[in-house]
Chain A
Amino acid sequence: MAMNEIITLNDFGSELKMIKVPLNLDKEIYLLHIFEENYNLNKKFIRGELVLIENEIFTSTFADTVHFMEELNLFDTGNNQNKYLDITEYKNTKNLKLKTNTDKNIFISKSEAKAIYKLFNMAFQGYSVATVLEKEFRVTPQILTKLLHDNNLLDR
């Protein structure tokens, strides 16, 4: 297949790995950690952060991911200029609605939003974060597909 022709995920001699961190299991919101491990220094460097919601890769760059998390953090103090989340009201309770390309409606309550934000910050513990700002690994559709396949994320 054509996928065999693309490069393996090997960035300047360092092997990159991907881990799926669950942020909310009910709504199927996951953080995809892309990181590099240096055994000599015994250190792990974050090289990319993506948000996967159900069957959709929501954000593909670190800047977008942080933006998404800040919108969650603002919750109802956000406004209609939000890029990823709409503020809805049902029975006097405010909720966030994801702006997805699919027909499915995904609502996030206040407690869920707080929990997701907390987990997002916890996910960086033990990793070096400065690397992701300096040399972020930008995925292409082909490379990301191969990564998802190698990590069995395409299996049902």
Chain B
Amino acid sequence: MKFFMYVILILLYILLIYQIYKLYKNYIKYKYDNDHLQSKNDLRMIEVEVIENCQDDEIQSKQEIEYNDEYDFDILVKKSLYNPIKDSLYYFSNLYDLVICEHELIDEPFHSKFYEILIFLSDNEFMIVDPSSKVINLNIRDENNHMKTSKSYNVFSLKDIYEFVIKSLFNKMLKLKKQDAQNIIISIFVVLLEKSIHYNSNESTANMMMRILNSYKYKDEIMKIVQLIKSADNDYSFIRELINISVFNIETYPYNDFEIQKPLKIREELPQKYLKNF
């Protein structure tokens, strides 16, 4: 009988210890959940604040709050970005992602100016004459039996060259400062635009370029870099080499000067930015 009593007592002890352990476990879980919820709430508050203030460009610093990823949040960092697909910049959406998202050159006013350049290049067809192309004169009878003469030659698309040069610029693994990289990207555009021709030759490319750069903050720096790229033997001459190399790596297009000229297309306002996961 005594032995039986002992067994019951031991069993009771074990039950008691198990209950205490269960209580402790619940307490730990409750504490963890509480902390989690609070930090989640904090983040929501921050996001709401960001959304409220996203119209102002001064918010950039506030947006770049770093969150520590202790828990698996469903909230990610959001930044106001343009939407190239929506603005029918199908050709440049990769380049935009590369420059703005991958290399984080998101600072204003560069971000907007870069996007403006992409829109300008996408809306208008600029081309550079292939230096190794043959020029063939065509004497062709048209449908009214009149003899028409025109010239045909190969051209490069400015879009292709710009994309190639910027991509190979980042591939060179250069350690550039953010500000320098931004200025170089815009000055490459200026250098290429000066070399190119457009169907409508009423306006010179220099004028178009000045129209785009007119209000830009770092205009003088860019013009200095453009001069450096053009002159030989300095730190920037590798960009000219990149432009020369690009000619061997991209496709040529046929061009005939008998084509109807298209007027220059310039959008008055930049499209709207959207908050996107970064």
Contact A141 B137 (CB under 8 A): no
**Beyond A148-B136, A149-B252, 14 additional pairs, beta carbon < 8 A:** A3-B256, A52-B136, A55-B135, A56-B139, A57-B137, A101-B139, A138-B143, A142-B258, A144-B256, A145-B254, A154-B152, A154-B153, A154-B154, A155-B132
What is the chain A residue whose CB lies nearest that of B157? Answer: A1
Residues of B within 8 A of A101 (CB): 137, 139, 149
Residues of A within 8 A of B125 (CB): 1-2
Q: How far is the CA of A116 from the CA of B153 in the complex (A)?
A: 27
Within 8 A of A (CB), among B146-189: 148-150, 152-155, 157
Contact A102 B137 (CB under 8 A): yes
Query: B127 interface residue, CB < 8 Å from A?
Result: yes
Contact B258 A1 (CB under 8 A): no
Q: How far is the CA of A146 from the CA of B258 in the complex (A)?
A: 13
Q: How far is the CA of A57 from the CA of B139 in the complex (A)?
A: 6
The 0/1 profile, CB within 8 Å of B marked 1, for residues 1-44 of chain A is 11110000000000000000000000000000000000000000
Which one of A2, A55, A60, A139 has the highest number of Cβ atoms from chain B below 10 Å of its Cβ?
Answer: A2
Contact B141 A60 (CB under 8 A): yes
Within 8 A of B (CB), among A97-156: 101-102, 138-142, 144-146, 148-150, 153-156
Contact B150 A64 (CB under 8 A): no
Query: A73 interface residue, CB < 8 Å from B?
Result: no
Number of B residues near A (Cβ < 8 Å) is: 31
Residues of A within 8 A of B274 (CB): none
A-B contact pairs, 9 of them (CB 8 A): A55-B137, A56-B139, A57-B139, A57-B140, A61-B141, A101-B137, A138-B143, A150-B254, A153-B136
Residues of A within 8 A of B262 (CB): 2
Query: B259 interface residue, CB < 8 Å from A?
Result: yes
Number of A residues near B (Cβ < 8 Å) is: 30
Query: B138 interface residue, CB < 8 Å from A?
Result: yes
Query: B22 interface residue, CB < 8 Å from A?
Result: no
Q: How far is the CA of A69 from the CA of B155 in the complex (A)?
A: 34
Query: B133 interface residue, CB < 8 Å from A?
Result: yes
Query: B134 interface residue, CB < 8 Å from A?
Result: yes
Q: How far is the CA of A30 from the CA of B77 in the complex (A)?
A: 65
Q: How far is the CA of A98 from the CA of B185 in the complex (A)?
A: 51
What is the chain A residue whose CB lies nearest that of B145? Answer: A61
With A4-B253, A141-B258 given, is the CB distance from A57 to B138 under 8 Å? yes
Contact A156 B140 (CB under 8 A): no
With A2-B125, A149-B154 given, is the CB distance from A154 to B254 under 8 Å? yes
